Amino acid sequence: MHDFDFLQPTTVAEASRLLTEYGDEARLMAGGTALMLALRQRMVAPGQVISLGRMRPDQGLHGLHYDPVRGLRIGALTRHVDLTRSLWVQRHYPSLAYMASHMANPQVRHQGTLGGNLCYADPATDPPTCLLSLGARVVLASAHGERELPLEDFLVDYYVTALAPDELVREIRVPPPPADGAARYTRFLRTAAEHRPLVNVALAVRRRGMTCVEARLVVGASTPVPTRQRAAEERLRGRLITPDLVAEVAASVAADRSVLSDQRGSAEHRRAMIDVVTRRTLAALFGLPTENEIQ
């Protein structure tokens, strides 16, 4: 690890100006779990590390709050373990609480932040897939103001986001769940020793008994960015959920042409697991018989 300047702004405007001043030589640090690993492995060599650890509370990057009209607001510096422990999240967004309690490992959950995770845009991670199924949006801030984007538009490509050079994520917003809603998040690990999912699937629905009124189905970890399966969502809309329909939808999702092939798994293997995980997620959410649940 080489020497660098460690800068600690206290406001969004100050952090934004530092990003503008130092440009590509600088790296933002929130929890630091991904950045420290990259520094140790010499994958990056910044001249300046801009830490958000001393951001003032009035800058909107800390804490989370829920109300039934505006939904859930999560400060970008909220740790994954804070999502797990929040009674608001447990009650209104149980799939999000489940996801946060299973991602990575205890060290990452206690140190890593939700905003940092989204900005890193690692395709093989948990939060983006889950949040996208829940209709999340991100608030981006700079010295010049702020703008709000759907998470789907924020995640551009493999390790690429829509952040401008002088911007940082201030907040993540999740709309209130519908009264007839339900959601589920499922991840598949290649081996028990791994912490990064090979496949993950998130499903949020409005339902009336066994009928799916509306669905948001997202596949991640095996695609460059988490991807809404809109054709599958249309197949589910207004339909009675049966084992045959579940198998049909899962097969259509597994046929996605954007599935990755790399050293962690071939596209063929990933598609097979997407089929399995999608079937299990749909079946579990609607109370159909299913195999042993993937963790």
Query: CATH 3.30.390.50: which residues of the chain?
Result: 181-285
Q: What is the pLDDT of residue 284?
A: 96
The pLDDT of residue 295 is 42
Write down the CATH number for the domain with range 57-174.
Answer: 3.30.465.10
Output the CA torsion 116→122→127→131 (10° steps): 100
**Where in the sequence of the chain do the CATH 3.30.465.10 domains occur?**
57-174
Lowest-confidence range among 40-44, 85-89, 90-94, 163-167? 40-44
| pLDDT of 291 | 60
Q: Is-contact 28 161, C-beta < 8 A?
A: no
State the pLDDT confidence band at 37, using cuts at 50, 70 and 90: confident
Ranking 75-79, 175-179, 256-260, 282-286 by mean pLDDT, the lowest is: 256-260
Q: Which of 72, 33, 26, 31 is nearest to 47 (CA)?
A: 26
Provide the CATH topology of domain 181-285. Enolase-like; domain 1 (3.30.390)
pLDDT at 294 over 50: no
Q: Where in the chain is the domain with CATH 3.30.43.10?
A: 5-51
pLDDT of amino acid 136 = 98
Q: pTM for the complete prediction?
A: 0.95
Residue 182 phi/psi, 5-degree rounding, is -155, 155
Q: Give domain 5-51's CATH architecture.
A: 2-Layer Sandwich (3.30)
Start-to-end CA distance of the chain, whole Å, equals: 36
DSSP β-ladder status, 211-220 and 227-228: antiparallel
Strands 71-75 and 160-161 come out as unpaired
User: How much is the pLDDT for 293?
Assistant: 47
Residue pair 167/142 in contact (Cβ under 8 Å)? The answer is yes
Across residues 127-132, what is the average pLDDT?
98
